[in-house]
Structure 1
Amino acid sequence: MTVDRILPTEEAHELLDLTRELATRELAGKADDYERQGEFPREIVRTLGRAGLLGLPYPEADGGAGQPYEVYVQVLEILAGSWLAIAEAVSVHTLACYPVQAHGSESQRKSLPDMLGGELLGAYCLSEPQGGSDAASLTTRATRDATGWTVSGTKAWITHGGQADFYNIFCRTGGAGARGISCLLAAAGSPGLHPQKPERTMGLRSSAPAQIVLDGLHVDADGLVGDENGGFRIAMEALDAGRLGIAACAVGLAQAAVDHAAAYASERTQFGKPIAAFQGLGFLLADMATQVSAARALLLSAARLKDLGRPFSIEAAKAKLFATDVAMKVTTDAVQVLGGYGYVSDHPVERWFREAKVLQIVEGTNQIQRLVISRSLTSPDAR
């Protein structure tokens, strides 16, 4: 189903039309093979970059497309409806470009056209094996040496690990807590930067995360992004926007599940009529569709706040929380609508069900989102 959208410009409408065309031409029918083989679709991501979809919310002067987040998240929704791994790759890459675009030095920013054009793929290395949600307690350590920094530690659950061309590495350069963290930029292939084998995941097998072992990695002094010990603020700023991206992925996945379930229920007959005609199933479909519309409205509201330059982090947390919970609920219900057929890989709802789960975990678990939201309600300083 094509959802009617009110967009700010004719250019935005054309961009969404282009995205649908690319989704049909480049993505449709390919996900299952890549997922089965566990192969990352690097060339497809590069094609989307050359079409201008990997730098959408960044200024044209930096090599981006200068689009508002309201438009960017709708692009992600369309991509996710065809292939979640691709939409997640776009979202994570957009997140990985943020430190250099917003806080990078003049020399670092020279790489922005290739970053935002997708020729250079990015990874965002914040989480660690023992401290995924407690980012302020990370233990990866960067020690000053004669020409820069020597980094040792392990990063975990890194999307594009082993595939990326550049890595944002958040590491401890000062004392304990959030104020002792810096962001360092390292190129793939740097001595001491060792991507491990991809994790064996429930879903998103074509873009499985990997650990990154940092064993005496040397980063030159000009690899520091922003201020020394100012990396935690960079990380949180990026994650606020990244949560909008994951919410958009969730909405796209859920909408695809609704569409597939509704089509199946309209064609499948039992007791002489389509199963959609039975009130119990028809009402289930109605609730699914309503939940997706509500998630989309919450997402777009948060994106518009960001576009207006107003505080949006709490609304982003709400959108991420609600949209990903909806995706899990709706894909579960879609499997139920299809019955036994929903449990086999002949229909995509089985894959969507497995993929939806990870969206409740990445970019801050939904328990963390609830913590952020609840604190904003009881402590004005947390807003």
Structure 2
Amino acid sequence: MSILQSLRPGGRHGVASTETRDPIGYAVAALSRLAQSDMLDRLGLRKQTETAVYSATRGGFKTTAAAGRAFAKTGKSGSPGTRPTATAAPGVFDLTPSEDEQLLVDVVTELAAEVLRPAAAEADETCVAPEAVLKAGLDVGLPILGLPESLGGITEERSAVAGALVAEALAHGDLGLAVASLAPGSVATAIGLWGSDAQQQTYLAAFADGAVPAAAIALSEPTVLFDVLAPGTTAVRTEDGYVLNGLKSAVPRGSDAELFVVGALLDGAPVLFLVESGTAGLHIEADPAMGVRAAGLTRLHLCDVTVPADAVLGATDGTTYAECVRLSRLAWCALGVGVGQAVLDYVTPYVKEREAFGEPVAHRQSVAFMVANIAIELQAMRLLTWKAASRAAAGEDFARNVALARQLCADKGMQIGLDGVQLLGGHGFVKEHPVERWYRDLRSIGIMEGAVLI
């Protein structure tokens, strides 16, 4: 039975049938289909419609954040929440996935192949993740992957390795749709790792039931030479809480998100804050980028946004924020490995079947060596990423490991994308083949901060 046949709406991880797709997505998708119709030429409306499609995709929208649901404040304020236990170290260097991890990877791999990959091209064009793709991710339990059973999750131990494996498998289908699918679960994971008892009781119940809220981690900012550990967004203490001001960029699914984890500078240290979408002063603007377009990237404007004192997530000395950055970079490394594997899997049969001068181009040493280099660098990226994830899961210091993985994945990921386009020749430059999209997506590995974590 395929994964599409096994997914059941209304189950533990299903979504309510009353959910609606982002109206901007509908509008852009409708305009895109209309632009392909011959009727426009007969009516003389071709130029006007194509201009509308371009404007909708490029300019997007600017609106007040969605009101979202009202999260009921429960739990003991100020008391520490439940923390996932560290994974027991086996005592040997063995990164082979466990039986449960391999089973999860098999399910997600089928999801990526049957659901994400077919929807990737249109989602990239419209900058909107289809509702069917998001629902399929909910049905397999992506939002609660990083939560322990005590908080409504599916594992007893911290699952950083499983998270890396899932991110890699999803990105093999499409990076943008993988980010859109993983963003809500990343917020749930962050609350599970650092949230107080009150925060966990207030928010995590929504991720464990059927109506999972859209949510995202907002760390990036549209500034030159941006340093994620020194954000320009500021938080000022007041008698009742904090006031946030600043601008965040590359926030996935911001138009329909109901909860954000926002990074801001408080008393000279970077701190994470939980901000609900209905908070006054929060505005959303479309932020379509070169890659990761299917994630529906947006900008988050914070203009005198007032949050209560218990909105702080984790410590205020910068340690929680730094760990969030590392786990986010680890997630992007895993995503980069998945896209790189997609490139290798696509170009290998292509160069064997494509003929030039009476023989397959794979017979040329320059071509064969380029494909071999992709495989070599990809395996190095994967091993560094898995090693960093295993140390994170065991509760060990993984700062050096994730720094090495990020540097390698950023550099070699871009090279893999470039070589993939080069191996396809002229075909690599056109949208008939997905390699040009993967090339654009791979550029994000060394740039994106936040959005997802494992």
Output the TM-score relative to the length of structure 2: 0.72
**Alignment match, 2:420:** 334
Partners of 2:190 and 2:181 in 1: CA distance: 16
**Alignment match, 1:301:** 387
For the structure 1 residues 193 and 257, does the alpha-carbon distance in structure 2 shift closer, same or farther, using more than 3 Å as the test? same
Q: 2:361 aligned with 1:268, yes or no? A: no
Q: 2:166 aligned with 1:75, yes or no? A: yes
Instruction: Please point out which of 323, 327, 331 is paired with 1:237.
Output: 323
**Alignment match, 1:215:** 303
Give the SS at the match of 1:194: strand
Q: How does 1:131-146 map to 2 (within 5 A)?
A: 133-146=226-239
Partners of 2:429 and 2:100 in 1: CA distance: 41
**Alignment match, 2:207:** 115
Partners of 1:275 and 1:52 in 2: CA distance: 43
Q: CA deviation at 1:333?
A: 0.8
Q: Percent identity?
A: 30
Q: CA deviation at 1:254?
A: 0.7
**Matched-pair contact (CA < 8 Å) for 2:250–2:298:** yes
Instruction: Please point out which of 40, 43, 60 is paired with 2:129.
Output: 40
Count of residue correspondences = 353
Q: Which structure 2 residue ranges, 5 or more long, are not aligned?
A: 1-93
**Matched-pair contact (CA < 8 Å) for 1:128–1:154:** yes
Partners of 2:182 and 2:328 in 1: CA distance: 7
Residues 81-137 of structure 1: per-residue CA shift (max 9 Å, x gap): 111112223554444334422222222102224336681222222333437632444
**Alignment match, 1:183:** 272
**Matched-pair contact (CA < 8 Å) for 2:249–2:287:** no
**Matched-pair contact (CA < 8 Å) for 2:259–2:274:** yes
For the structure 1 residues 8 and 80, does the alpha-carbon distance in structure 2 shift closer, same or farther, using more than 3 Å as the test? closer
**Alignment match, 1:194:** 283
Q: CA deviation at 1:7?
A: 3.8
Residues 59-79 of structure 1: per-residue CA shift (max 9 Å, x gap): 121222326322221211111
Q: 2:256 aligned with 1:163, yes or no? A: yes
Partners of 1:233 and 1:146 in 2: CA distance: 25
For the structure 1 residues 168 and 131, does the alpha-carbon distance in structure 2 shift closer, same or farther, using more than 3 Å as the test? farther
**Matched-pair contact (CA < 8 Å) for 2:180–2:296:** no
**Alignment match, 2:294:** 206
Q: CA deviation at 1:6?
A: 6.3
Greater RCO, 1 or 2 (C-alpha within 8 Å, sep 6+) = 2
For the structure 1 residues 338 and 128, does the alpha-carbon distance in structure 2 shift closer, same or farther, using more than 3 Å as the test? closer
Give the SS at the match of 1:39: coil
Which has the larger helix fraction? 1
Q: How does 1:338-377 map to 2 (within 5 A)?
A: 338-363=424-449
Which amino acid letter does the alignment assign opposite residue 100 of structure 1?
Answer: I
Q: CA deviation at 1:334?
A: 1.2
**Alignment match, 2:194:** 103
Q: 2:235 aligned with 1:147, yes or no? A: no
Which amino acid letter does the alignment assign opposite residue 114 of structure 1?
Answer: A
Instruction: Please point out which of 97, 112, 127 is paired with 2:220.
Output: 127
Partners of 2:314 and 2:390 in 1: CA distance: 27
Q: Which structure 1 residue ranges, 5 or more long, are not aligned?
A: 365-383
Q: CA deviation at 1:332?
A: 0.8
Partners of 1:329 and 1:139 in 2: CA distance: 31
Partners of 1:168 and 1:93 in 2: CA distance: 10
Which amino acid letter does the alignment assign opposite residue 141 of structure 1?
Answer: T
Instruction: Please point out which of 8, 11, 27 is paired with 2:100.
Output: 11
**Matched-pair contact (CA < 8 Å) for 1:149–1:221:** yes
**Matched-pair contact (CA < 8 Å) for 1:166–1:186:** yes
Partners of 1:270 and 1:129 in 2: CA distance: 45
**Matched-pair contact (CA < 8 Å) for 2:160–2:389:** yes
Partners of 1:107 and 1:136 in 2: CA distance: 27
**Alignment match, 1:250:** 336
Q: CA deviation at 1:188?
A: 1.2
